[in-house]
Chains A and B, each alone.
Chain A
Amino acid sequence: DTGVSQDPRHKITKRGQNVTFRCDPISEHNRLYWYRQTLGQGPEFLTYFQNEAQLEKSRLLSDRFSAERPKGSFSTLEIQRTEQGDSAMYLCASSLDGVYEQYFGPGTRLTVT
C-alpha cells in the first residue's frame, strides 16, 4: 500500500505524559501536513513541512507541541505534558509540489484520561 500511514492508530495516555506520533507520507510527496480534528468539527491545520523545512505553524500549536521531519521523509508530532483538551484525532496528509490535492492518512486517535 502506498498511501499515507500513521502510527499508532490509537493512543490512551494519562494527563501529564508525553506522546509521540509518526506519519509516513506517500513516498514521492515532499509536502507533509498535520491537522487536528475534535468530535463534530472539521480538521484544523497545525503545521506543515516542505521537505525537511517547517514552513508554517498554527497558533493552535502551543509550546507543548513540536513536530519534526528530519530527513524530509517521515514526520513525528510530539505532545508534552498532555492535557485532556488534547484528546482528538491527529491527521497527517501529504502532497506533491504543484499538485494541490492533499491525501490524508488514517489518523491517530488520542485519548487523555
Chain B
Amino acid sequence: ELKVEQNPLFLSMQEGKNYTIYCNYSTTSDRLYWYRQDPGKSLESLFVLLSNGAVKQEGRLMASLDTKARLSTLHITAAVHDLSATYFCAVDMVLADKLIFGTGTRLQVFP
C-alpha cells in the first residue's frame, strides 16, 4: 500500500526566513504533485513533478523530486504572510490515476 508522509505537520515561521517541507513516499512512482489549500477552500495546484531530478520554481516556492530516494521537497524562500496555508504533496500510483495525499503541512508565517 502506497503511503505518503510529510514533515513537519505544522510549521510556524517568521517572515523573511527560509524553510523546507519534506514529502516521503513508500513505493515506486514517477509523478509527484504539490497542492496548496486555504482554510475552508479547495486545493490549488502548485507543481507537477514528472521525472527524477525535476525542479520547478514559482515565486518564493521551489519543489524538487528524487525518485530514487522517494523524496520531494518544497522549499520556501523569504517567507511572507500570504504563504500561510496547508500544503499537501500527493503521489499517483504506477498504472493508476488516483492521487494518494500526505497528511499536509500547516504553514503559519508571522511578522
Q: With A91-B43, A106-B42 given, is the CB distance from A45 to B99 under 8 Å?
A: yes
B103 within 8 A of A: yes
* A-B residue pairs in contact (CB < 8 Å), sample of 10: A41-B103, A41-B104, A42-B101, A42-B102, A42-B103, A91-B43, A100-B48, A102-B45, A104-B45, A106-B41
Whether B103 lies near A101 (C-beta < 8 A) is no
Whether B88 lies near A42 (C-beta < 8 A) is yes
Write out the residue numbers on chain B whose beta carbons fall within 8 Å of the beta carbon of A44: 101
B50 within 8 A of A: yes
- State the CA gap A95–B33 with chains docked (Å): 14
Q: Mark B19-49, 1 if CB is under 8 A from A, else 0.
A: 0000000000001010100000111110010
Q: Mark B80-111, 1 if CB is under 8 A from A, else 0.
A: 00000000101010001111111110000000
